[in-house]
Amino acid sequence: MKKILVLGGTGFVGAHVCEKLARHGWQVTVPTRRRANALAVQHLPGLTVLELNVHDEAALASAVAGQDAVVNLVAILHGDQATFEHVHVALPQKLARVCLAAGVAQVVHVSALGADALQPARLPSMYLRTKSEGEAVLLQAAQGGSAGAAADKGFDLSILRPSVIFGAQDKFLNLFAKLQKILPVMPLAGASARFQPVWVEDVASAVVACLQSDVGLPSPRTIELAGPQVFTLKQLVQLAAQLSGTCAGRGRPVLPLPDWAGRLQATLMGFAPGEPLMSLDNLDSMKIDNVASGKFPDLDALGIHAAALEPVAQAYLSVK
């Protein structure tokens, strides 16, 4: 029975990944700072919840010991430079060291479409730059690099780069649908930014496929996860209204904001308590289209037929 440690297993994507892994009969371990965060997955057969801080390298090493594979889903969308580096770079560095020391055979790391492990500095946002730097750390370790510690051999590595992920509990289409039930008009920064949304179930299936013994792609492998359709942000906002039935499916008027106004809006949102709806760094990320480059294998290479957005989103937005 394969033993798999899932970092970020209590999150939106993580819950779907854990469910699929459990369905395969594999033994899954999910670390979390608070056991209460794991309510959505702790009922799964063969799943163990560990209370620990994955950023504590000694605790992470203890959790990794004896595992056959590790899946890293830990990521943030908002923060300052230090916070992004802590989550997207320092954690992969620690993970590489402990996996090499423990002789872990496989690592699956979920990154982001638009990342570039070879040229992180060219990217426009802290999010994309640090995602890229985290990829580079793991690539070096997978190829037998030190990652801060001596190692004779690396590990099998899959780097998955999804576009924006949609699904019943997403904070993307659901948010647009909710806002249009409240606001009389939708002022929208980055309205022309392009996305290729991918279903959370397809992302989870890709993780499982990479953990199979017959992936069919040499390691280290980078795989782009994207759906079959490309939308602008404005189109996605309008689609969320249509599918949720706001104003009889017409939605609210969408007011695209010029760059200066969008950046002002994002700056003001940053002063509000809680996680911002849009940050300056989010806007910077949208300077690069969030669509597949075609330079890397995709879901088809894993034997997965990407689901279209509308039929899936219709099922969960229509009840809003």
Kindly state the DSSP code that residue 246 receives in the 8-state scheme.
Answer: T
Q: Report the first-to-last Cα separation within the chain, whole angstroms.
A: 41
Compute the chain's Rg from CA coordinates: 20
Which position has the token pair 């496989």? 106
Full DSSP string of 35-62: GGGGTTTTTSTTEEEEE--TTSHHHHHH
CATH architecture assigned to 166-196+229-291+307-317:
Alpha-Beta Complex (3.90)
Q: Give per-residue pLDDT as tens, 211-241.
A: 987 888 899 999 999 999 999 999 999 999 9
**Mean pLDDT (whole number) for 14-29:** 96
Which pLDDT score is estimated for 216? Answer: 83
CATH of 3-164+198-225, one of 3.40.50.2300, 3.20.20.60, 3.40.50.720, 3.30.499.10: 3.40.50.720
> Nearest CA to 68 among 211, 217, 219?
211
Q: Is 90 exceeded by the pLDDT of residue 31?
A: yes
Q: Give per-residue pLDDT as tens, 107-152.
A: 999 999 999 999 999 999 999 999 999 999 999 999 876 555 444 5
**Mean pLDDT (whole number) for 77-94:** 96
Q: Give per-residue pLDDT as tens, 151-168.
A: 457 899 999 999 999 999
- What are the structural domain ranges in the chain? 3-164+198-225, 166-196+229-291+307-317
